[in-house]
């Protein structure tokens, strides 16, 4: 059986699957597949459901398929609130992991310099920055950088396509695409998750879902951090 190309997602790597196995490949030095493999293995050791790593080396990551349906897939109306609640509980569980035990650093001292050397993805999930120059966005990023980071273990790309759930129980069965996992401000995950719940790509959710997610997580919206971390994610 030949490898089937997977076109969903925006990881930048070439993804294919065959017989319950997923393969990511990339020659781009900015895409650290070996680092993603190490993060998946670390997550599994913490008891978080993540894909088993079958092969991991520079430019190649091979993982076993995890069960469940993506939170981005169509869900019955009566199940959508349960999916949102499960996403919030997953976020709480990740953020409760001891940061001293996490070897991966995604603090602003790391991610802002990375952004300075990266392109801006104006075709990304949010259209709010389209029509603005890179220089304008860099200036805004630097001017609005938070002075304080509320550090936890973050997934780093906690959008609904990256969370799988059991279709019967709506319990989280898998977390994928963890290449940006590390110690960071909790609003990295909260900003990206709430954006993912409100953009047009996921019309089954909406503002109600973002509000429910934050309430279930246990915080009020921090609009300044939401805007900053969504902008940072565009780089």
pLDDT tens string 153-201: 999 999 999 999 999 999 999 999 999 999 999 999 999 999 999 988 8
Q: Which one is catalytic: 119, 157, 185, 211?
A: 157
Instruction: Write down the CATH superfamily of domain 69-233.
Output: Aminoglycoside phosphotransferase (APH), C-terminal lobe (3.90.1200.10)
166 is catalytic: no
- Lateral strand order in the sheet of 53-57: 4-6, 14-18, 21-25, 60-64, 53-57
Lookup result for tokens 């509000």: 211
pLDDT of residue 34: 94
Find the mean pLDDT for residues 31-41. 95
Find the mean pLDDT for residues 118-128. 62
Residues of the chain with CATH 3.90.1200.10: 69-233
| pLDDT at 125 exceeding the cut of 70 | no
* Spatial distance between the Cα atoms of 38 and 179, rounded to a whole number of angstroms: 9
Question: Is 128 within 8 Å of 140 (Cβ atoms)?
Answer: no
pLDDT of residue 30: 81
Residues of the chain with CATH 3.30.200.20: 4-64
* Dihedral class, residue 132 (left if φ above 0, else alpha if ψ from -120 to 50, else beta): beta
pLDDT of residue 9: 58
Find the mean pLDDT for residues 38-61. 96
Question: Is 34 within 8 Å of 10 (Cβ atoms)?
Answer: no
Q: How far apart are the first and last CA of the chain?
A: 37
State both tokens at 113: 């310099």
Per-chain mean pLDDT for the chain: 92
CATH architecture designation of domain 4-64: 2-Layer Sandwich (3.30)
């Amino acid at each position: 059986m030949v490898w089937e190309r997977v076109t969903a997602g925006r990881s930048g790597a070439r993804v294919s699957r065959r017989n319950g196995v997923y393969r990511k490949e990339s020659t781009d030095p900015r895409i650290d597949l070996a680092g993603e493999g190490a993060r998946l293995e670390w997550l599994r050791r913490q008891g978080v459901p993540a894909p088993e790593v079958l092969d991991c080396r520079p430019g190649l990551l091979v993982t076993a398929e995890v069960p469940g349906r993506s939170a981005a897939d169509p869900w019955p109306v009566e199940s959508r609130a349960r999916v949102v609640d499960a996403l919030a509980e997953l976020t709480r569980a990740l953020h409760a992991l001891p940061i001293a035990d996490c070897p991966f650093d995604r603090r602003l001292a790391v991610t802002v310099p990375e952004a300075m050397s990266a392109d801006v993805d104006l075709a990304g999930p949010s259209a709010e920055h389209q029509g603005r120059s890179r220089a304008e966005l860099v200036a805004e990023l630097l001017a609005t950088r938070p002075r304080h980071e509320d550090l936890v273990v973050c997934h780093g790309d906690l959008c609904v396509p990256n969370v799988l759930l059991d279709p019967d129980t709506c319990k989280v069965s898998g977390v994928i695409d963890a290449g940006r996992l590390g110690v960071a401000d909790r609003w990295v995950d909260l900003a990206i998750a709430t954006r993912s719940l409100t953009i047009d790509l996921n019309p089954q959710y909406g503002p109600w879902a973002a509000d429910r997610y934050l309430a279930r997580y246990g915080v009020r919206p921090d609009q300044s951090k939401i805007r900053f971390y969504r902008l940072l994610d565009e780089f």
